[in-house]
Chains A and B, each alone.
Chain A
Amino acid sequence: MASVESSSAKFRQNPFQRNWLVTGAWLVLAGYLVFSFNAMGLSWERFVHGLGIADELMARMFPPNFSRWELLLSGLAESMEIAIIASVVGIFLSLFFGLFAARNLMPNWVTVPTRGFIALCRTFHPVIIAILFVKSVGFGALAGILTLIVASIGFIAKLFAEAIEEISLKQVEAIRATGAGFMSLILFSVMPQVFSRFIGFATYQLDSNLRNSTMVGIVGAGGLGGTLFSAFQRFDYDFVAAILISIIALIMLGEVLSNVVRKIFN
Chain B
Amino acid sequence: MNTVNYHWQRFTLAERLSRYGVYLVLVMALVMSIQTVEVIPEFFFDAPEQMADLFTRMWPIDFAYYPITVHGAMIETLNIATLGTLLTLIFALPLALMNANNVVASAWSQWIARFFLVSSRSVNSLVWALIFVAIFGPGILAGVLAIAFRSVGFVGKLLGEAIENINMGPVEAIRATGAPWLSVLLKGYWPQVMPAFFSIILFRWDINVRESAVLGLVGAGGIGVVINDAMNLFEWQRVSMALLAIFVVVILAEIVVVNIRKRLI
A and B touching (Cβ–Cβ under 8 A)? yes
Chain B's closest residue to A42 (CB) is B141
Point out the residue from B37, B53, B134 that lies within 8 Å of A78, measured CB to CB: B37
A11 interfacial by beta-carbon distance below 8 Å:
no
Say whether, besides A78-B37, A264-B22, A218 and B218 are in contact (CB < 8 Å).
Answer: yes
Which of B44, B122, B136 has most A Cβ within 10 Å?
B122
Cα of A237 to Cα of B135 in the assembled complex, Å: 12
Q: Tell me, yes or no, whether A110 is within 8 Å of chain B by CB.
A: no
Contact A50 B53 (CB under 8 A): no
Cα-based distance from A88 to B22 in the complex (angstroms): 13
**Which secondary structure characterizes the binding site on chain A?**
helix
A84 at the interface (CB under 8 A from B): yes
Report A54-88 CB contacts with B as 1/0, cut-off 8 Å: 10010000000000000000000110111011001
Task: Digitize A207-236: 1 where CB-to-B-CB distance is under 8 Å, 0 elsewhere.
Answer: 000011011001100100000110010000
Q: For the complex formed, measure the closest distance between the CB of B245 and the CB atoms of chain A, giving whole angstroms.
A: 12
By a CB distance below 8 angstroms, the chain A residues around B213 are 125, 128
Count residues of B near A (Cβ-Cβ below 8 Å): 57
In the complex where A57-B134, A131-B231, A232-B134 touch, is A140 in contact with B33 (Cβ < 8 A)?
A: no
Could you show 8 A-B contacts with beta carbons less than 8 Å apart?
A40-B144, A41-B141, A46-B141, A142-B43, A212-B124, A215-B126, A219-B217, A252-B122
Is B50 on the interface with A (CB-CB < 8 A)? Answer: yes
Residues of A107-137 at the interface with B, using a CB-CB cut-off of 8 Å, are 123-125, 127-128, 131-133, 135-137
Check A36–B83 contact: CB distance below 8 A: yes
Which of A125, A133, A247 makes the CB contact (< 8 A) with B122? A247
Contact B30 A85 (CB under 8 A): yes
Q: Are A218 and B126 in contact (CB under 8 A)?
A: yes
**Are A88 and B30 interface neighbours, CB within 8 A?**
yes
A132 neighbours in B (Cβ, 8 Å) = 51, 54
Contacts of A81 in B (CB 8 A): 32-33, 36-37
B119 contacts partner chain A, Cβ-Cβ < 8 Å:
yes
Interface string of B19-50 (1 = CB under 8 A from A): 10110001001101110111110011011001
Assuming the contacts A140-B43, A211-B124, A232-B134, asked whether A248 and B217 have C-beta atoms less than 8 A apart, the reply is: no
Say which residue of B33, B51, B54, B243 sits within 8 Å of A84 (CB atoms).
Answer: B33
Are A33 and B40 in contact (CB-based, < 8 A)? no
* Chain A: CB-nearest residue to B86: A33
Q: CB distance B40 to A140 under 8 Å?
A: yes
CB-based contact B127/A215 at 8 Å = yes
How far apart are B237's CB and chain A's nearest CB, in angstroms? 14
Chain B residues with Cβ below 8 Å from A123 are: 246-247, 250-251
A251 within 8 A of B: yes
Q: List B108-140 residues whose CB lies under 8 Å from chain A.
A: 118-119, 122-124, 126-127, 130-131, 134-136, 139-140
Query: Does residue B210 face the partner (Cβ distance < 8 Å to A)?
Result: yes
- What residue in chain A is nearest B144 (Cβ atoms)? A40
Determine whether the beta carbon of B22 is less than 8 Å from that of A261: yes
Min CB distance A62 to B, Å, is 14
- Identify the 7 closest CB pairs spanning chains A and B, nearest first: A81-B33, A136-B50, A136-B51, A215-B124, A81-B37, A127-B214, A50-B136
Interface string of A1-45 (1 = CB under 8 A from B): 000000000000000000000000000010011001000111000
Is the CB–CB distance between B34 and A85 below 8 Å? yes
Q: Is A53 an interface residue (CB 8 A)?
A: yes
Contacts of A42 in B (CB 8 A): 141
Known: A81-B37, A244-B127, A251-B122. A136 touches B53 (CB 8 A): yes
- In the complex, the chain B residue whose C-beta lies closest to that of A257 is B25
Q: How far is the CA of A201 from the CA of B43 in the complex (A)?
A: 31
